[in-house]
Amino acid sequence: MSRQTADDGLPSARDGIDERQAQWRAELPDVDTRGMAILGRARWITLAARPPIEAVLKAYDLDSGEADVLFTLLRSGPPYRLRPTELFRSLMISSGGLTDRLNRLAKAGLIRRVEAEGDGRSLPVELTEEGRRRAREAFREDMAVEAAMLRGLTEEEQVQLAALLRKLTLTIPTADRRD
């Protein structure tokens, strides 16, 4: 018995986006719904991925915004220190939002403000030993959860999909693209 395939050559299993496209083809056959096929699925994936990722972060007593700060500081490398403006630009949030996150993280003992050499106007933000430990552990577990979500794709498919998404990201004009 052979499996049926869809127009794209993949097995003919259908999802909710396929159903919506079929409905729109019947209602407005002149409208191209390929954007829905891609962006609708990207949105669904994002929404489905959030709860397990947020559960990982919660296990480390972090929310996603706090984790963003810790991960940004950790990936900056030793001494795991950035100026607030560098964090602000990297995270693409309001300065008030950053201040709130920094205050919560400092209160939890995960970051500290340090004197800037030769610059008294800015107090760089630095991970504490506990902040580095928690960030490393949470990031490792987060990446394991995300890898598990991708098990339905071969390694080659994952590389291809990442390349296509990168290409799409670079072609969609937006003022607040995160690099």
Query: Could you read off the pLDDT of 45-86 as tens digits, one per residue?
Result: 999 999 999 999 999 999 999 999 999 999 999 999 999 888
Tell me how many degrees the CA angle 146-150-156 measures, rounded to the nearest 5.
Answer: 130
Q: Are residues 28 and 86 in the same domain?
A: no
Strand pairing partners for 115? none
Same domain, 40 and 65: no
Token output for 106:
């400092």
Number of domains in the chain: 2
On whether the CB atoms of residues 127 and 109 are closer than 8 A, the answer is no
User: Residue 175 half-sphere exposure, CB side, CA atoms within 13 Å?
Assistant: 1
Cα 42 to Cα 73, 88, 144: the distances in Å are 28, 26, 20
For residues 57 and 138, the answer to whether their CB atoms sit within 8 Å is: yes
Dist. CA 81–CA 61, nearest whole Å: 21
Residue 2: pLDDT band with limits 50, 70, 90: very low
CA–CA separation, 58 and 138 (whole Å): 9
Q: Token pair for residue 101? A: 């996150």
Q: Are residues 127 and 98 in the same domain?
A: yes
pLDDT of residue 4 exceeding 60? no
Statement: residue 11 has pLDDT above 90: no
Encoding tokens for residue 55?
Answer: 């559960």
Average confidence score pLDDT of the chain: 88
Domain assignment present for 174: no
Indicate the helix (H) or strand (E) that contains 125.
strand 125-127
Q: Are 74 and 162 found together in one domain?
A: yes
- Residue 147's domain comprises 60-168
138-148 pLDDT, tens per residue?
999 999 999 99
Q: Which residues of 46-71 are buried (b: 16+ CB within 10 A; e: fewer)?
A: eeeeeeebeebbeebebeebbbbbbb
Q: Indicate if 100 and 149 belong to the same structural domain.
A: yes
111 in any annotated domain: yes
Long-range Cβ contacts of 147-150 (<8 Å, 24+ apart):
149/49, 149/52
Shared domain for 74 and 154, answered yes or no, is yes
Given this model, what pLDDT does residue 123 score? 87
